[in-house]
Every structure is written in C-alpha cells, then in structure tokens.
A and B are shown apart, each in its own frame.
Chain A
Amino acid sequence: MSKQDAKTTPRHNATISLNLRVWRQERGSSRGEFVGYEVNDIPVDASFLEMLDILNEQLNNRGEDSIAFESDCREGICGTCSLVIDGLPHGPGQCTTCQLMIRDFKDGATITVEPFSTGVFNVVKDLTVDRSALDRVIQSGGYVTVHSGPKPEPNSIPVEHAVVEDALDASACIGCGACVAACPNGSASLFTSAKIGHLALLPQGQPERNTRVVNMVEKMDEEGFGSCRNYAECQASCPKGISIKYIGRMNGDYIKATISGGDRRGEMQAN
C-alpha cells in the first residue's frame, strides 16, 4: 500500500502486527546478524520508533537486552535517528525515521531494519553508527570565523530575499547522514556541499570562501568518503529535500579556488 492510499483510509484506534528483521550486533568488532521479532497490537497512530519502543519494553520485560537505536527530538529536526528500512535510509517517504508512521505500513508486513552503515560509518552497536566524520568535515572549514562581541549592524549589508531563501534551503541540512548511507559510493558530497553552498551564498561567507571549499572537500576525501558519481540517490533520500545543485556549485567553487591562489592564513599570526 502506498502512503497516499493509507491516508485515504483512516483507521484510528486500529492496530496492526509486523514481522521485523532487525540487525543485531553486540559491538563494532563482533559479527552481526538479522534477528526476527514479531510485534503485535501496534496502534496505527504510533510512529515507527514508538513501535520499536514497544518491542524494547517487551524485550526488557523478558530480561533481554533491548535493541540499541538512536533518536532524540522525534520531530524530524535533530538528525539523530538513522535506520535503513527495507533498504531505504529513513524508509519510504521523504522524511526522517522518526516521522515514519505505522499507518504507512501494511498489516502483517515483514520489514528489514538495518543501521546507516557505510564504509565510513561503523556500527557501534545494533542500529547505532559512528557519524563523527561528518563533524570533522565541518571542523575543517564549515563556519565563518567570528568571535563573540560587537558586530556591524546587519541591515548595513542587504541580502536579497531569494538568496537567503536559497541559503536556507541548503542550511536546512540536519546532518543525519542519509545521503551517505544512500550513495552507492558512500559519498558525503551532498552534506558537504550544503554547508559550502549555504555560506557561499551569503556576504558573510565570502572572506573564507576559497579556503573553506578546498579544506572541506579535501577533508571529505581524507575521511574516506567516496566521490560523487551523480547517482543522485542522496537527493532522493534527503529528508530535507536538499538539491544536488549544491554539489555542482561546490565543484565549481573548488576549481575556482584551486586556481585562484593558496591559503595564506597563519602567515599573520604574531606567535
């Protein structure tokens, strides 16, 4: 049943049952396997993660170790939740795992649940992975270097309405890593280009524009992410609908930056 069909037949107060195949792995270094669980009487108004809460309560009651999975805000903005459901990062629909509702699934369906595992995101336990490589890409240049303190009046630098909207489309990235998990090449290009694109659009991002793109692109390679081969799976799986146009702009910026002179930062430091 597609999502749209499900919506036209409201079944409030109804419940369904699901057969789950869940990836269980005690720790990164140990071998993992799929374990089957039958979950019954799931309210259709519950979210997918609330269904896992119900399962974990049952496991805890039986004295079994609960399934480790990450989530926090449960409203699609913190980027913590990270499940591959039936082969799709965040499952069907362009939303985060936490926004997936049980009413979107068929009664009695068998569902495979895996972690966001790629060459770079290693499994920590069960369905949790280490995504710190994404932070390190930001550390390499995803910011404007300003200290806290008095700043110029913002209206002294007008910014076109459409430009801000474009920047906001890019900076809507929640850092979940679905783009990496979806990419056959394990590339982090959409994530990286979204930050570069956001800052490159704004006047405040100009002073470090060249060094930023060079450092971030090189850091991305250094962390072991694959290169972009235009599969566009990242865009299809991005819960915030971020466009691959930012990858194109990043590549353009990168070329410009590499021919326009090197990074001279550090030369001015007194010590």
Chain B
Amino acid sequence: MITLDAKIPSGPIEDKWHNHLENAKLVGPRNRPSYDVIVVGTGLAGASAASSLAAQGYNVHVFIFHDTPRRAHSIAAQGGINACKNYREDGDSTYRLFYDTQKGGDFRSREANVYRLAQNSTAIIDQCVAQGVPFAREYGGMLANRSFGGVLVERTFYCRGQTGQQLLLGAYQALEKEIHQGKVKLYPKSEMLDLVKVDGRARGIVYRNMVDGSIHSIAGEAVVLATGGYGAVYYNSTNAVNSNTTAIWRAHRRGAAFANPSFVQIHPTCIPVSGDHQSKLTLMSESLRNDGRVWVPRKKGDKRSPGDIPDAERYYYLEERYPTFGNLVPRDVASRAAKVVCDEGLGAGSTGYSVYLDFRDAIAEKGQDVISEKYGNLFDMYEEITGESPYQNPFRIYPAVHYCMGGLWVDYNLQTTIPGLYAIGEANFSDHGANRLGASSLMQCLADGYFILPQTIGDGLQPLYRDKVSTDHPEFAKIEGEVRDRIKRVMSVKGDSTPLSIHKRLGKVIWDNCGMSRNETGLKGALRDVEALQEEFTTNVNIAGKSEDINQALERGLRLMDFLEIGHLMCRDALERDESCGCHFREEHQSEDGEVLRNDDNFGHVSVWEWEGEEGEGKEETRHQEKLDYEVLQPATRSYK
C-alpha cells in the first residue's frame, strides 16, 4: 500500500520554493562524483537535467533509443515557450501565469507545483539565451513575444515555428559538452525495458541494446525518467513513431503510482487523417490561431470551394461562442468545438471531419510577407503533406492526440512513490491538471531539468553516501531474466496478427471511447475491447526476424504490450472520474450549452493508481486519491466566453 506524501513545503505560496531549498539536504561538490545518476531520455527535460547534474559533478549515465540525443521528440515542438517576463507590460506576473495555468488545467493540478513553475519560467529564457538559443527579436534588438491560447497576455517566446528544436539543440549541446568532458556517458540505441529495485529503492535499469539485441543492466543511486508521454497509445497522434510508454509503465508495474492516466490533450490544429496507411498526424502550431480564423460552412453539405463561400455563410464558431478569447480559447475547448460542428454535419473535406483555419483576412491586413516570416515553415510543411497551399486556400485541420497531462505521480521533489526514482517533463503528471496551455510544455520540461530536479535530487541522494549497489546484486540478474523471458514469449507466439495491426485497432478503441468525449457505456465497452486485444496479442501476435538483431517489429511488439495495459487503465480512470473537467468530457456531466461540469466535492483530487498485480498475472489496479488543496485560488467555473 502506497502512502502519498506530496511534501509540499510550508509557508505562503510565493515562499514555498525558497523555504524548500533552504531546508533541503545537499551533496557537496567533492562528493558528487561518487554518485551515479541514470537518466532515461534526452528531450528537453532529460537533456537539461542530465547536463545540469553532470555540470554539478554527478556521474551521469544517459539512455536513449535514438542514435543521438538530438532526435528526441521535443525537437518537434513548434510554437513557443511561456515565461512571465511582462515585456509587453500587458499585466503579466508570476501570479498571472500561475492563475492561467491553474485555470487552464481546470483546477486539477497542485497549486504549489504550478506556482513554482511560474516562478522559474523567466530564468529559463535567460538560461537559453545565454546558451545561444536564437529567440525571435524585435527590430530594436529586444526579445519578441506572441500570444497563445487560454491567456490574455503576450508571454510566449519563439524561434519561428521551430522553438522546440532550438531549445532542444541548446540542451543537447550542453549535454554533448558534458559527454566530451567525460561527466556523461551516453548509451545510444539502448531502450530501457525494466526498473530494478533493491530494498524498495530504485537502483538501476535493465536495457536492450537495439543493434545486437543483448540485454544489460546498470546500477546507480537514482533513476530519472524523462521519457515523455504515452499519447502513441492512440496509434495516430502527433507523437513520433517510436514514442512509447514502456519506461514509465514498467516503473509503474514495479510500484511507481500513476496519476490521472485519462488526462490526454487533443490538440485542435492538426492535419486531418487521410487514410488507414497513416503513421502519424502532423501538428500545425497553435500560434496559427493568433492570425488564422477558424470556421465551417453554415449550411450542411456545402461543397463549394472555401473561397467561394461568402462571410455571411461562414460559421466562425469560436468567435461566436467565445467572444472574449475567440480563436484563442484553450485547446480542450477548441478541440471539442471542432468535434461538435463536425458531428453536426458542418465539417469540411471529403470525410466531413475537418474545419477551416483561414488566413485570408490576415494576409489582406498584414501582407503575405509578414505572415510568411511568422509562419512560413508551417505553411510549407502543410503544402508538402497535403499538396495544397494555405496562402490560396484555408488550412483544413482537425484535432489529434498530442500530449499527456497524466503520468507518473511525483511529489514536490519530482520523486515518484519509489524512493530514488524521479520523473520529469511530460513523463510526470504534476503541472497541467486536466488540460495544458499552449507553450507550457517546453516551460515545464526545462524548469524541471535546469532548475528543479538539480536542486531537489541531492536531498534524496545525500543519505546514500557510500551506500552503493552493483549489478552483482541478485536482483539485477532476476530482472534481466524476466526481460529475456518477456522477449522470448512474444517472439515465440508466431500467430497471425502483426503488432502494427493490433496497435491500430487499439488506437481506434481508445480514440472512439476515451478521446474528446467519453461516456459510461463506451468506456465499459472499451475495457472489454482492450482485454480482447490483449488476449489476441498474447495468443496470436506474429513477430518475424531474430531477437538478437535490429528488429523493429520486436521493438513495436514490446511497446505495444505496455500500450495495451495503459490503454486499459486510461479507460478505467475515465470511467471512475464521474465528472467532467478540462480534457475529460464525460457526456453525462455537461452544462446546458455543452460545457464541462466539474464536481469539486467528489473529484477535487488527483486519481493515483497503484499496480498490485504480479508479472504475468491480472491487472489489479487500486485507485487512491491525492486531495488537492485550494489555498490560493478557489476553483471557479472556467469561462472563456
């Protein structure tokens, strides 16, 4: 039975972080080299954490399934990163960023963590500029800002439509410097397949060398998971094709509690699905909603070309329904609104499941050059994929799975319920509640990696001085054996279904029942469907090739095993959260005009799931609660009207 102690420091909210730092145990610079820290993943969170810890003096071991750290999927983040610099003097402040994030998340996140995130946001910009990240500048040489959804200020810093890439390169370069200096050892093409615990503490991982298939383990005093989210459970998503949940899911199976698994962000502006062959969905940055206007034809089945439809016959549904925020409502609201108009039969395109994002007016007002400088690469990317130019015709977009607010439960130190195991970035649940605001993911990853974890990890490490465990400990051989058995098992079924075909069907079940709109009947059916797919996987999967080799079918199969389990848990979590909040829209709980209806009395908490089953046996998950204390901000009905 787990105990959930969030370790929130005492004092008023603006003093908590400083109080915490002043009371934390520290590891001195001379002792740091005697600690081995294992970091899994090198996205913004992993690369920034690994480089910061190495620069402090720790011995860092970094694991990636890519060939180089620069490939991690943070690279694909487009629009920007938030920080409450208040450069535009438009009323921004630490409190305002905290307020927007908490409200945007529909009051389902921990106040103390969110406030700390806002406090650290400005230092991230300073840090990245010092690294040489070329943020957009105004003509006078000052940093430029733009606006994102769910807020009334301009606090987003950006590098064209490739902010994630530039920030990741900054972190990657810092990491490469530490590799060069011997403080970081990189293990490329090495996928973590399990966590090793000794006496209840995380002490290492088991990984597979993806080139020759060999299984190894490594020991350390702490394990940091920075492996991103599990959005690829839906098969079609904006995640990369190799993004997966295995690291955090295997940690969960070893005792790390999982929080709010059903909280998944569906991003409103993606290129629509074109067919069954599709392997991924491409996001069109939310920043496009700054200048683009979203609409559908007012008339059902209007097949005219969008340019031929006059204004009076266009339904600018976001501007009409939400006059204050207009096209810049938060993502969950925008996505659901798109689904509603398409379900009503107003959608565009051959499938009827897309809406227009139109730059006609912005181009007329500002000129094509200005629009092109701001969004040029996004316009080009759209044209590459669809063969249509958004300068001539509006973008056609539809929501797609994008980000997981849920993740491993962590306390204020970013430590999971397993001592010595930390989760940072998208892999944890801590800051975005039931919906994340645009440009806040990069902020959270870098706050976790550059500033928070490096200052909280010492507290957990300090008592371990000279208490080392090596891979000679029998627990390592035992877990390695279990991993080898798992691989042997999936390779030996030799049935008729490929992992890809099962994954596609799993994705459809979760998308239809645990996506933008959820209800009891659908979720109960989905649980049965996922169980049937699990059975099919166990008895009928087919993986060709050898396990001692590069085998991408095997990689997919191993990841799919874990997607099947997390998909099941997501549906259970969505079923038991009998309210609507943020992304979690339960049809049973909606207001008269179709907005979410929260139930703070019964669900003003984080759902925290504990795995109690044994390896290979049933899925006994127990639901616990971390009650959310609303000390600063009383939950209110979220209105963007």
Contact = CB atoms under 8 A, between A and B. Distances in A.
A53 B500 CA distance: 9
Contacts of A43: 274-275, 277
Interface in B152-187: 159-160, 162, 165-166, 169, 172-174, 176-177, 179-180
B301 interface: no
B127 interface: yes
19 contacts: A12-B350, A43-B277, A51-B277, A61-B542, A65-B549, A65-B551, A66-B544, A72-B66, A73-B280, A78-B75, A78-B76, A80-B66, A124-B550, A126-B550, A132-B188, A144-B131, A147-B52, A152-B130, A198-B132
B383 to A, nearest CB: 9
Contact of A57 (B70, B172, B385, B500): B500
A223 interface: no
Contacts of A147: 52, 55
B137 interface: yes
Interface in B261-276: 274-275
The 4 closest A-B pairs by CB, nearest first: A158-B141, A143-B173, A151-B126, A139-B180
B398 to A, nearest CB: 15
Contact of B549 (A125, A135, A164, A198): A125
A53 B280 CA distance: 12
B140 interface: yes
B166 to A, nearest CB: 6
A77 B134 contact: no
Interface extent on A, as a size class?
A: 35 or more
A78 B134 contact: no
Contacts of B130: 144, 146, 151-152, 154, 204
Contacts of B543: 60
Given A77-B75, A150-B123, A152-B126, A72 B544 contact: no
Nearest to B129: A154
Interface in B359-411: 381, 384-385, 387
A260 to B, nearest CB: 21
B311 interface: no
A121 to B, nearest CB: 11
Given A75-B381, A153-B126, A199-B132, A57 B87 contact: no
B553 A73 contact: no
A164 B158 CA distance: 12
B552 A66 contact: yes
B180 to A, nearest CB: 4
Nearest to B380: A95
Nearest to A52: B279
A204 B277 contact: no
A95 B123 CA distance: 35
A143 B177 contact: yes
A155 interface: yes
B68 A131 contact: yes
B131 A142 contact: no
B285 to A, nearest CB: 11
B48 interface: yes
Nearest to A67: B552
Interface stretch (A106-114, A165-173, A250-258): A165-173
A128 B550 contact: yes
B615 to A, nearest CB: 27
A85 to B, nearest CB: 16
Contacts of B105: none
Interface in A68-102: 68, 70-80, 95, 99, 101
Contacts of A12: 350
B73 A72 contact: yes
Interface of A: 6-7, 10, 12, 42-43, 45-47, 49-51, 53-54, 56-57, 59-66, 68, 70-80, 95, 99, 101, 103, 124-126, 128, 130-132, 134-135, 138-140, 142-155, 158-161, 164, 167-168, 171-172, 174-175, 198-199, 202, 204-205
- A42, A62, A134, A146 — most chain B CB neighbours (10 Å): A146
Contacts, number: 220
A75 B282 contact: yes
Contact of A47 (B51, B129, B160, B279): B279
B177 A61 contact: no
Interface string B56-99: 00000000001111111101100000000001000000000000
B500 to A, nearest CB: 6
A160 B137 contact: yes
B177 A139 contact: yes
B136 interface: yes
Given A45-B275, A124-B550, 4 more contacts: A78-B76, A99-B384, A151-B130, A171-B169
B278 interface: yes
A134 B179 contact: no
A12 B387 CA distance: 11
B359 to A, nearest CB: 20
Nearest to A49: B279
A65 B166 contact: no
A159 B279 contact: no
Contacts of B21: none
Contacts of A59: 544
A208 B159 CA distance: 23
Contacts of A75: 76, 280, 282-283, 381
Contacts of A158: 137, 140-142
- A56, A62, A135, A172 — most chain B CB neighbours (10 Å): A135
B234 to A, nearest CB: 15
A73 B552 contact: no
B125 interface: yes
B546 A65 contact: yes
Interface string B112-145: 0000000000010111011110111111111100
B385 to A, nearest CB: 7
A271 to B, nearest CB: 11
Contact of B143 (A51, A54, A138, A155): A155
B611 interface: no
B599 interface: no
B450 interface: yes
